[in-house]
Amino acid sequence: MNKLIKLILLLLIYLLISCNDKPSELGVNLLPDTVVTKGISTLDTILIPITVSYKAYYPLFNYGINFIGKANGLTAITLSNFAGIPDTLGWLTEEKIDKVELSMYPQRYALGDTLNGILSFDIYKVARRWNPDTTNYDSLIISPANYFGEKIASFNGKIELKDTMDIVRISLPKSLIIDWFKTEMVYDTVKKDSVPKAIKNWGLAFVPTINNSVINSFAGNYINATKTSTIFVNYKDKKDTSRTISLDATIDVTFLDVPKFDSTEIIVFNGANIWTEIFFDLSMIPKFSGIHKAQLDLFLNEEKSFSGNYGLDSLIEANYFMNKNSSSTFQYISAPNNLGLYRFNSITSSVQVWNRTNGKGSIIIMPHSIRNQALELDKLVFYGLENPDPNKRPLLKVIYSLNPKNYLEK
């Protein structure tokens, strides 16, 4: 029994001595008192030196919605090209045509005076080739200003915004269709012979007149579209049998004239696609720190913002594009609270990337989803860096930690 007691005492002495040994190197590095946690924010340090708003390249081309009208300083012109023109009706004369009618399908979204606003626009034949990639509002209207041929029709009326929208029907001249149905003989390399082919036309332009206080939206072409502007032609064939042919708009582009904007403001402008790049300088945070949390707040300036009848966007997004890639590396989504605060709860991943290099980088604030980018014309303006009230300026908060034992110096 005495031997057992002695053995137990020896084991206890050994354990006590072992507990007093210096921890291993790994253990020392993990001791809590060697980890330094810090916080930094724009309230005490310049972390956001500059913001730049700019016009992004994003033509409103075949997204399913066209805009026509004037409101809130915007002017919207739409060009449409119609397909389905046959090469077998070159013989048709005006006497054989009963009616030519354009059907347009208004959508419920509108901007401006949606209660009493009158939409007024003229329709022109487009006189020369246009391209959504190279044609813009200025080249269309100002220089060389020869895209438009003769005016062939007009519309002036109030479009009621309701659950089931009424179709807008506009009579077009028979001469338009005669021109479009004309053919020319071209050599077919497959048939090894000359065959008739419809002469190329450049479509129609829908140009608002000066008497507008609203911009209305219309169904346009997109992949698998079930409804788009359509021209219906009622005519009699060579046997005097009544026929109808429809020509659907298969290429639609809306061109916007946008008021000049202050590039120092933080702007997210749907449709016009004015976005803002926010630049960050976090070089004061030591390289290879542990970035635990980075949060960005933007505060809406309601006086400078406006929306259509759907209300302001419920979501915006911030994107980090690494090495100018076309696809974002990180995407962050923000929804506003009832005080106009749009909070990006964590842009931590981007700050972690910047901290591995020189501590500098940027993210782009832009609309979220195709609806906001192309199907609405709402404008959000956020208080900028120079706002007199520091509590309304962009706010960035970063929490990070240092471990002196593991810190890698240059």
* Contact between 282 and 398 (Cβ < 8 Å): yes
d(CA 42, CA 47): 6
**Residue 144, pLDDT above cutoff 90:** no
Residue 404's pLDDT is 63
Which of left, alpha, beta for 205 (phi over 0: left; psi -120 to 50: alpha)? beta
Question: How large is the average pLDDT for residues 387-394?
Answer: 95
HSE-up of 181 (CA within 13 Å, CB side)?
A: 20
**Residue 403, pLDDT above cutoff 80:** no
pLDDT tens by residue, 260-282 = 999 999 999 999 999 999 999 99
Residue 363's pLDDT is 97
pLDDT tens by residue, 214-259 = 999 999 999 888 899 999 999 999 999 999 999 999 999 999 999 9
Percentage of the chain modeled with pLDDT above 90? 72
Residue 33's pLDDT is 52
Residue identified by tokens 């300088």 is: 281
Residue identified by tokens 């004309």 is: 182
Question: How large is the average pLDDT for residues 308-325?
Answer: 88
Ranges 31-40, 101-110, 348-357: which has the least confidence: 31-40
**Residue 60, pLDDT above cutoff 70:** yes
**Farthest CA pair distance, the chain:** 129
Helical residues (DSSP H) of 20-161, grouped into ranges: 25-29, 137-141
First to last CA, the chain: 64
d(CA 230, CA 83): 9
**Residue 330, pLDDT above cutoff 60:** yes
Dihedral sign, Cα of residue 175, residue 181, residue 185, residue 187:
positive
Confidence of residue 31 (pLDDT cuts 50, 70, 90): very low
Question: How large is the average pLDDT for residues 84-98?
Answer: 94
Question: How large is the average pLDDT for residues 298-321?
Answer: 93
Confidence of residue 26 (pLDDT cuts 50, 70, 90): very low
pLDDT tens by residue, 335-367 = 999 889 999 999 999 999 999 999 999 999 999
**Residue 134, pLDDT above cutoff 90:** no
Mean pLDDT computed over every residue of the chain: 89
Question: How large is the average pLDDT for residues 322-333?
Answer: 82
pLDDT tens by residue, 154-165 = 999 999 999 999
pLDDT, greater one: 172 or 145: 172
Sequence ranges of the domains in the chain? 30-56+273-402, 60-257
* Contact between 268 and 139 (Cβ < 8 Å): no
pLDDT tens by residue, 163-198 = 999 999 999 999 999 999 999 888 788 888 888 888
Residue 40's pLDDT is 97
